[in-house]
Amino acid sequence: MVLLLLPFSTVRAKEERSLIGDETSFFTLPSTHDRAINYVSEYYGKHHLVMTFFPAAFTPV
Amino acid sequence: MKRKGLMILFALLALVWVLGCATLQQPSEKPYRLSERGTLIWEDEFEFMVPPSGWSVVQVESGGEFGFGFLRRERGEFPSQSIFVYDEEPFGGSLKLEERSEEFFKRYLWAAAISMNLKVLETKRVNVVGGEGLAVIAEGKDPVKKEKVRSKIVFGKRGERIVSWYLTQWRHIDGSFDPSAFEVFDKFVASFKFLKKSFYETL
Amino acid sequence: MEGHQRNLYLYDRFNARVVGVSVDDVTTLKYWAKSLDLTFPLLSNVTGFLGESLGVAPSGEIKGYPVFGRRTVIVDRNGIIRYVRDGSPDFKDILLFLKKLNQEGGRP
């Protein structure tokens, strides 16, 4: 179980404060809107983006 | 000093008498107080007619926020109780009354709604908190668990958002629904007032 | 997530958009979005790279694969991370922050 978590263990939860001011990773990801969503074309230069990460669908967020 | 003590005792007894049995979830500080008008003021934000004795205060979690309301345990075979609440964030997300009502009923009573085959019996436009609203009556029965439920849900507007008040009355399948609880609920809703703007209205 | 859905009209007013992100596949996310009547997109990040880059701690595992913890990040329109909060989203806090962020832009 520990071995499986190894790839993530080197990236411990970054302190909330240390990320502020950094540039976000640009991403393209499949979405529930039947299209891949690309950060640059949809949001960059246009809208602020709120991203909520959650463990799994059908669980409380 | 003695007189002051007696007055405080009298006020406390009056409060307990009016509210019936002890609260189910006793917060460390009571979030409500009685006004001189005989109404209840909740967290300095809501005001409404005090329900008669027999009803006790409850605080319920709904959608992550705490709503509040009143519970009355009633005579008859299990389950026999009525509970009505003010829910500022009813299930759903639409700002339109009819749409929100549809979204709400997808989640209201969760699995019980399915096992009870909950059905909307009546929907009508009403006036509530000085604006447009929707009143819905729904019923369901579970022949396996031998339970039934009758609910009245009122949707209204607070600023741009939809808020709700609803009464859920549970009975044994052979019991009878009690209209007096619905009368208390109707008075609660009819007397309901917002004492200040909501967080969202001040954004 | 319903909190976001209820506040969409306010996000719009503050020139913000919202997405949910998990390691679930799109089909699962679609079912869930439908059950909650969510109209904003949910992103499927199966490999978890985005969460990793934004420092989201794994909350545990499902069948041996790490899953995200709960975290909300707000990125301004210039791509800069401005807000990070672990745990369930504090919707009122988010709204207050977006209001401030929107005011930064200056009035047109």
Residue B87 is given by DSSP the state: E
* Predicted pLDDT at A6: 46
* Predicted pLDDT at A18: 84
Q: What confidence tier does A27 reach under pLDDT thresholds 50, 70, 90?
A: very high
B5 touches chain C (CB under 8 A): no
> Does A38 reside within a domain?
yes
Q: Which residues contact C19 (CB under 8 A, 6 or more apart)?
A: A31, A37, A49, A50, A51, A52, C40, C41, C42, C43
Output the pTM of the full model: 0.84
- Average pLDDT over chain C reads 91
Q: Which of residues 45-84 of B touch C (CB under 8 A)?
A: 63-64
Which pairing describes strands C58-62 and B161-172: parallel, antiparallel, or unpaired? Answer: unpaired
* Model pLDDT for residues B153-186, shown as the tens digit of each residue: 999 999 999 999 999 999 999 999 999 999 999 9
Residue B88 is given by DSSP the state: S
Q: How far apart are the C-alpha atoms of B185 and B47, rounded to whole Å?
A: 14
Domain count, chain A: 1
Written out in words, the top-level CATH class of the domain with range C2-98 is alpha beta
Domain count, chain B: 1
Subunits with 3+ Cβ pairs within 8 Å of B are C
* Predicted pLDDT at B150: 98
- Lowest-pLDDT range of A31-40, A47-56, B79-88, B105-114: B105-114
pLDDT average, residue stretch C21-36: 96
Domain boundaries along the sequence of chain C: 2-98
Query: Which CATH number is B155's domain given?
Result: 2.60.120.1690
Q: Could you tell me the residue range of the domain that residue B50 belongs to?
A: 2-202
> Does A19 reside within a domain?
no
> Does A47 reside within a domain?
yes
pLDDT: is B59 or A16 the higher one? B59
Q: What confidence tier does B65 reach under pLDDT thresholds 50, 70, 90?
A: low
> Does A1 reside within a domain?
no
Tell me if B97 sits within 8 A of B162, measured CB to CB. yes
Find the CB nearest C4 among A43, A46, A52.
Answer: A52
- Average pLDDT over chain B reads 89
* Predicted pLDDT at B13: 61
pLDDT: is A9 or C72 the higher one? C72
CA distance B89 to chain C (A): 9
pLDDT average, residue stretch B26-46: 87
* Model pLDDT for residues C64-98, shown as the tens digit of each residue: 667 888 999 999 999 999 999 999 999 999 999 99
pLDDT average, residue stretch A36-60: 95
Q: Is the ipTM of this complex over 0.90?
A: yes
Among the listed residues A50, B136, B155, B203, the one whose alpha carbon sits nearest the alpha carbon of residue C5 = A50
Ramachandran area for residue C79 (φ above 0: left; ψ -120 to 50: alpha; else beta):
left
Q: Could you tell me the residue range of the domain that residue A51 belongs to?
A: 24-55
CA distance C21 to chain A (A): 5
> Does A37 reside within a domain?
yes
